[in-house]
Amino acid sequence: MTLGQVVVLIVGVGTMALGVWLLVRRQPPGAAETSEAKSPLVSFSGPPGLIMALAGLALVAFPFTPWWPAELDAGASASATPTASEPAVSVTPNPTPTPTPTPSPSEEASTATADGGQFEAENGALTASFEVFEDGKASGGEYIAATEGRVGSASFEVEVQGGTYFVWGRVRQPATVTAEDANESNNFFVLVDGSNAFVDGSDVKAGNVWDFHDGEDVIYRQWEWDQVSLRCRGTVRVHTCDPLQLRLDPGTHTIELQAREPDSQIDAIIVTPDPAFEPRGTLQHGGS
């Protein structure tokens, strides 16, 4: 019960008691006038007493009726639930944004510049015997490899502004390669715009073999970024074009990998004009 209802209840009880008292003390007709009968309170009898008793009864019952208006209760709590006509307004504070952690170099490759591009190997134009294989550690979860030696190609179109460009490949050798055959399944032929002449733009046929790790007795059992270098009339262990520098005119060019040894695996390719660029980890955003 609220404070307002208690006040009305007290007033009602008092009014009803006064009315009953007046009815009880009412003088019968013709009674002698005494000092008490002449009292204004006693003379106020009869119907007025009945009316006051009924009014008091109504006041006593009033607080318990379901239509008691809460707005009349001066002591109503400010925390009362608002009515449907006045819905509560809930203000949610703006949450403090959680910063996105920057991947460490071992997790993500540095983003290649807009001049050039980065490519998932499986998104290239493939011909047999190149096939797509799944690997959870590969960028995008897939990589490509030729199942036959000297059969098949993978081509990629790159848009450049013109100048000198460098190429990186994320490569790996099969787990079956041993120290005795470290230079197995570790190379591709590389062609640009259908040509393999890369030395100072000349037309001289330049040995266009890309041996991973320049033919050293090293096995890439895990995915590694290797900057493309070519033998260019050198040997498996001495690459004359190291690194490969592509002098490209503005526009679209095609970089093509051709199968040389079966099971040479490649996951991603980056073309960049930045000679200091060195990628790590998987491609950011999966590449194109």
Rounded-to-integer distance, Cα 194 and Cα 185, Å: 23
What are residue 146's phi and psi, to 5 degrees?
A: -90, 135
Rounded-to-integer distance, Cα 11 and Cα 133, Å: 91
Q: For 229-281, what is each residue's pLDDT tens digit?
A: 998 888 888 888 899 999 999 999 999 999 999 999 999 999 999 999 999 99
Task: Determine the 3-state secondary structure of 52 from DSSP.
Answer: helix
Look at residue 89 in the predicted model and tell me its pLDDT: 40
What are residue 57's phi and psi, to 5 degrees?
A: -60, -40
251's enclosing H/E stretch is: strand 251-259
Look at residue 47 in the predicted model and tell me its pLDDT: 67
Neighbours of 279 (CB within 10 A): 22
Residue showing tokens 């006509």: 85
Look at residue 284 in the predicted model and tell me its pLDDT: 81
258: which strand partners?
153, 189
Q: For 178-198, what is each residue's pLDDT tens digit?
A: 998 999 999 999 999 998 876
- The list of the chain residues with pLDDT below 50 reads 31-45, 67-68, 70-92, 100-107, 110, 203
Task: Determine the 3-state secondary structure of 20 from DSSP.
Answer: helix
Task: Determine the 3-state secondary structure of 126 from DSSP.
Answer: strand
- Predicted structure pTM score: 0.62
Look at residue 64 in the predicted model and tell me its pLDDT: 62
Look at residue 134 in the predicted model and tell me its pLDDT: 98
Rounded-to-integer distance, Cα 235 and Cα 273, Å: 26
168: which strand partners?
227, 270
